Structures are given as structure tokens and as C-alpha cells.
């Protein structure tokens, strides 16, 4: 019996060794633009996207996208063929579509060239990305993987458009929502109510900010939970941010709900003047408007996307680093300089400042002066010391509570206890 089991395991191991499968990974993806902009203006000529390992937080792959090439452009002007060169121009179409195109190329390159696949992608809520990184329905039907009758339909009963571009050999990735981005989107929906005329909506900007803050605090309380095992608890908690505003604290958590905390400690609680609690009967229209604004974020699928501990914070801080190497007031997208500078940022992030530059000098075969090593190391120590110096004594990270544990921020704008 044991021999047979051993034989099977050996066979399986041998098969795996001969046909190694791609390792499924969870990654965080975000794209940065190389032009200064604000809000929803997407007109940058170039951009760069990173994927970071969910656990290692190291850059696994990157893609620089550009719509221009200086050499190709110059040759076109004089109607000649350009001299052979490494061409940075790899994208046509809108700047917004760069983000999807970037991850689409990364997913293919990592699968075919690097033997890992992006099983879970943590990103901003981007519906185009989700629909593009799927298998085409038509292709699935042609290959006998789906019948025509199974073609997904919209709520109105029409056939869903076939936007999937992913080759059938690559598994479709799953998507998780970035915590901070999701809270921002919810804030936007409520702020939209606040910016309406007073006769249409009584929601104020202060209320919108309170809903946004409370939603973030509520998500922090449930993000570590298993969706299936704690289904009832989670469905109960997601109602808290709105119910809390209308003085119903049955769904709240005492870690962030001050009235509940006061009740637990047998203290009197009085709301501050600017942050009153409303009544459902009296402000029924406001309650209904708020409920319908956040309703879709309380749906199972949308809540499930937030239950994880990954985020795209490092991606965003790397984008900040890139903006130092690639200043936004200069245009680098026309040459390969953009890619080289982005690679410097990746090297410093993955290896550390001194290690990266020593390795670079070594690779280039540069003769190292005696003090290069010491200079680089002292530079990197200086950087660390600066960070320490800037952090004044006694200052804590805003998310670290008095006990020194990471936790919800207490006493936010929603402060209701008189101290």
C-alpha cells in the first residue's frame, strides 16, 4: 500500500519537474503618469506600471508605456526610415487605456517568460481592466469550453459585450479592491449627494466626510474575516456607517463608535454641535438617499473584494520615487531614458540604495574607488537617520494606538465625546 502511494507521489513530482507549472501569485498593480495632472485628466504621453508581490512587497515586473518616440518622429518629419534603435513607442490610443494595456502585457510576459501567473490582482476599481483580462466568450465557444446558451446577459437581458482579450492558455485572474481606493470611491458617491441643490438633497459635506471615515473604520474591523464563515457578521457590520449616522448603533463596533464606547463605559455621551445624529423618521429622504448611494458597495461581491490585507500603498510610494528620477515637468517618454530611470527606482527598492549602486558599478566594470563603498553606505545611513530625525520624539504613526498596536484611529472627525 505504502509502496503504491510512494510511487504515485514520485510520478506526480516527476511530472511537475518535467512540466513546471506557473506559480500563482497575488500582486498589487498601479500605474503612474509622467505628466502633472489633476482629477480625471488623462493626457500624459507616457506612464509606468509596477506589479509588487503581495507578501514580499518587491517589484516583480514593470512596464513603461509611451505614445511617442523622438527618433521615429524625426525620421517621419523628413520622410525617411528611422535608423535601427530601441523604440520606446509601444502604445497607440488613449492615455487612460495605457493602464489596462500595461497589465495585459505584464500578465502575458510573466506567464510565458517568467513562469508565474497573476492569480490575484489588487488594484483600483477599474471595470475596463476586469473585462479585458477575461477570456473571450466567442473564443471559448469555438474551443468547446462554453455553449452559446451560456453567454452572459445584462440585467435587461441583452448579451454582454465580448471584451475579453486574455489567451485561453492563461487563467483568468481574480481581482481584489485596494482598501484606500474603495473608501475614496464611496466618499465620492456620498459627496455627489452633498453637492446637489438643497431642495434635492439635505446631505452635507460634513456628513459625506463622516460616512467616508466611518466606512474606512468599519472595513478595518472586518477586513481580516473570512467571508463565508462570518457571512452574517459581515452583512451586519456593513450597515454600520449609515445606521450610525441615524443614531442606531446596533451594527457598530465600540473600537470606533464613540456612543457605543460611552455606553460600555457607563459614561454620558453628547454629540458635538457640528456632528449631530439624525432621526430616520424626521430625515427619511436623507436616509433613503444615503442608503441608495452606498447600496452597491454593500453587495456580497463588492464586500468580499475588500476582505484582505493587501494594498497598493507601496505602488503609490514608488510612483512618488519615480517622479524624483523622472521629473514631471520634463518629457522623458520619447526615449529609453524613461525605462532606465524607472529601472533605477526598482533596483533601489528591491536591493537597497548601497547594494543597488555597488551591483551596478560592478556590472558596468567600473573601477571602484576605495571610498565608494563607504560613501554609498554612509549615504544610505544618512537617509535612514533623516527619517528618524524628522520623526520627532513621542510622535507615533497615526494608526498606532496608545498600546502600540496597529488599530483604528480613535477620536476622528466624528468625535462625539466631551473630553
Minimum CB distance to Zn ion, residue 74 (Å): 9
Residues 77-106 that bind Zn ion (CB under 5 A): 87
Phi, psi of 394 (to 5 degrees): 90, -15
Phi, psi of 59 (to 5 degrees): -75, 125
User: 199 near 286, Cβ under 8 Å?
Assistant: no
Helix 179-194 × helix 284-294 angle, to 10°: 150
DSSP three-state, residue 389: helix
Q: Is 75 in the site for Zn ion (CB under 5 A)?
A: no
Distance CA 245, CA 194 (A): 15
- Dihedral sign from CA coordinates of 183, 188, 189, 190: positive
In this complex, which beta carbon is closest to Zn ion, that of residue 254 or of residue 308?
254
In this complex, which beta carbon is closest to Zn ion, that of residue 72 or of residue 294?
72
Q: Which residues share a beta bridge with 174?
A: 120
In this complex, which beta carbon is closest to Zn ion, that of residue 51 or of residue 240?
240
List the strands of the sheet with 23-33, edge to edge: 59-66, 46-53, 23-33, 116-123, 174-177
Minimum CB distance to Zn ion, residue 328 (Å): 23
Q: Which stretch binds Zn ion (CB under 5 A): 67-75, 133-141, 149-157, 399-407?
A: 67-75
Which are the contacts of 306, defined by CB distance < 8 A and separation ≥ 6?
A: 176, 177, 179, 182, 219, 223
Minimum CB distance to Zn ion, residue 85 (Å): 6
Q: Is 72 in the site for Zn ion (CB under 5 A)?
A: yes
User: 192 near 205, Cβ under 8 Å?
Assistant: no
Return the residue of 61, 135, 249, 349 that touches Zn ion, per CB under 5 A.
249
Q: Is 211 in the site for Zn ion (CB under 5 A)?
A: no
Q: Which stretch binds Zn ion (CB under 5 A): 5-13, 69-77, 114-122, 288-296?
A: 69-77
Total residues interacting with Zn ion, rule: CB under 5 A: 8
Q: Is 257 in the site for Zn ion (CB under 5 A)?
A: yes
Minimum CB distance to Zn ion, residue 257 (Å): 3
In this complex, which beta carbon is closest to Zn ion, that of residue 61 or of residue 249?
249
Q: Is 69 in the site for Zn ion (CB under 5 A)?
A: yes
Residues that bind Zn ion (CB under 5 A): 69, 71-72, 87, 244, 249, 252, 257
Amino acid at each position: 500500500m505504502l509502496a503504491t502511494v510512494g510511487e504515485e507521489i514520485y510520478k506526480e513530482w516527476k511530472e511537475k519537474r518535467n512540466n513546471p507549472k506557473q506559480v500563482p501569485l497575488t500582486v498589487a498593480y498601479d500605474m503612474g503618469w509622467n505628466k502633472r495632472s489633476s482629477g480625471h485628466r488623462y493626457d500624459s504621453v507616457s506612464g509606468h506600471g509596477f506589479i509588487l508581490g503581495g507578501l514580499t512587497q518587491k517589484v516583480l515586473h514593470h512596464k513603461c508605456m509611451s505614445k511617442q518616440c523622438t527618433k521615429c518622429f524625426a525620421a517621419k518629419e523628413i520622410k525617411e526610415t528611422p535608423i535601427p534603435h530601441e523604440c520606446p513607442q509601444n502604445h497607440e490610443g488613449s492615455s487612460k487605456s495605457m493602464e489596462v494595456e500595461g497589465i495585459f502585457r505584464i500578465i502575458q510576459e510573466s506567464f510565458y517568460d517568467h513562469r508565474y501567473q497573476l492569480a490575484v490582482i489588487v488594484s483600483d476599481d477599474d471595470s475596463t481592466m476586469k473585462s479585458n483580462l477575461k477570456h473571450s466568450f466567442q473564443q471559448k465557444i469555438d474551443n468547446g469550453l462554453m455553449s452559446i446558451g451560456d453567454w452572459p446577459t445584462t440585467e435587461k437581458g441583452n448579451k454582454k459585450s465580448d471584451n475579453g482579450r486574455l489567451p485561453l492558455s492563461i487563467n483568468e485572474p481574480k481581482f481584489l479592491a485596494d482598501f484606500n481606493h474603495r473608501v475614496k470611491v464611496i466618499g465620492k458617491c456620498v459627496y455627489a449627494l452633498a453637492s446637489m441643490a438643497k431642495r434635492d438633497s439635505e446631505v452635507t459635506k460634513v456628513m459625506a466626510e463622516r460616512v467616508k471615515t466611518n466606512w474606512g473604520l468599519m472595513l478595518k474591523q472586518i477586513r481580516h474575516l473570512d467571508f463565508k464563515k462570518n457571512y452574517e457578521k459581515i452583512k451586519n457590520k456593513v450597515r454600520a456607517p449609515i445606521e450610525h449616522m441615524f443614531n442606531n448603533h446596533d451594527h457598530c463596533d465600540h473600537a470606533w463608535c464613540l456612543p457605543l464606547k460611552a455606553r460600555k463605559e457607563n459614561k454620558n455621551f453628547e454629540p458635538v454641535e457640528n456632528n449631530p445624529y439624525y432621526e430616520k423618521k424626521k430625515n427619511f429622504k436623507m436616509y433613503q438617499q444615503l442608503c441608495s448611494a452606498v447600496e452597491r458597495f454593500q453587495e456580497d461581491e463588492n464586500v468580499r473584494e475588500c476582505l484582505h490585507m493587501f494594498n497598493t500603498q507601496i505602488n503609490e510610494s514608488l510612483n512618488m520615487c519615480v517622479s524624483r528620477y523622472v521629473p514631471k515637468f520634463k518629457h522623458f517618454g520619447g526615449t529609453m531614458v524613461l525605462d532606465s530611470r524607472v529601472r533605477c527606482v526598482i533596483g533601489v527598492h528591491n536591493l537597497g540604495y548601497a547594494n543597488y549602486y555597488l551591483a551596478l558599478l560592478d556590472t558596468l566594470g567600473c573601477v571602484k574607488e576605495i571610498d565608494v563603498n563607504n560613501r554609498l553606505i554612509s549615504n544610505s545611513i544618512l537617509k535612514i537617520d533623516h527619517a528618524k530625525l524628522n520623526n520627532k520624539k513621542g510622535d507615533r504613526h497615526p494608526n498606532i494606538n496608545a498600546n502600540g498596536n496597529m488599530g483604528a484611529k480613535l477620536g476622528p472627525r466624528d468625535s462625539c465625546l466631551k473630553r
